[in-house]
Amino acid sequence: MVELTPSTMLLTGIPEAWMPAFARTLSSPGQSIAALRIGDQHFAENGRLISVKPGWGDVAEALDRDEADNPAVTTAVMGALSAPSVSSLTDALAALDVAVTENDLGPQRLLAALAQRMMPRQSGRILLVTYDPRSITRPQDAATRGSARGIFTYLESLRPALKLRGITVGMLLLAPKNREHWNMAASAEPIAAAAAECLRKGTLQRVLKVR
């Protein structure tokens, strides 16, 4: 019998309604689940919580603390799905701040921290789950569109260098048919299944149409 090396799958930025499906579908034997979240939010999907401060500036330290007592993160699924909708200029500025922090700045800081840990091991898997920028067309969703394109471009630029160091980076781009009436909770199972398939096959980019 082959002895499995303990490892951790990290989930972050995934909507609460999707967490049970993601934890159930993506985990594999010998792998524990950890959720990286701001503050001390509850996480009940048979996993543990890695807490970070707003802005994620302490994410490297948070991973260090966790890995002192737990298996290293070998797989990370990062959601960049914050989608504040606005109706005024004042709201737009606030929405932009939220979207940039949660969809761009936070994931970039996490990616840098993960790369520092994965590169010496010459292995690792990272999957970004975000919106297909082409599917976001409403004016009130400008902050979401811009931040989705930002993290998309950032990962695209880093992918070749990370690949040389044994780290695969994939993207699952969600394209809701009608964002205004999209039932996110009902999409949990197909999105989790698509994410699992992307990780298993090492898919570089996949657009998933959801209703």
CATH number at residue 135: 3.40.50.720
Answer whether residue 141 is part of any domain: yes
Answer whether residue 2 is part of any domain: no
* Position 11 pLDDT exceeds 80: yes
| Number of folded domains that form the chain | 1
Mean pLDDT of all residues in 135-151: 68
Answer whether residue 27 is part of any domain: yes
pLDDT in tens, 61-78: 999 999 999 999 999 999
Edge to edge, the sheet with strand 205-210 lists 48-52, 31-38, 7-12, 73-80, 124-131, 167-176, 205-210
| Contact yes or no for 186/18 (Cβ under 8 A) | no
Answer whether residue 181 is part of any domain: yes
Mean pLDDT of the chain: 84
Answer whether residue 1 is part of any domain: no
pTM for the model stands at 0.87
Answer whether residue 32 is part of any domain: yes
Answer whether residue 201 is part of any domain: yes
Using pLDDT thresholds of 50, 70 and 90, give the confidence band for residue 86.
low
* Position 58 pLDDT exceeds 90: yes
Residue 197 domain boundaries: 7-210
Distance separating alpha carbons of residues 95 and 161, to the nearest angstrom: 32
- The percent of residues above 90 in pLDDT, for the chain, comes to 49
Distance separating alpha carbons of residues 40 and 22, to the nearest angstrom: 20
Answer whether residue 74 is part of any domain: yes
Residue-by-residue DSSP string for 127-179: EEEEE-GGG---GGGHHHHHHHHHHHHHHHHHHHHHHHTTEEEEEEEEEES-G
* Position 103 pLDDT exceeds 60: yes
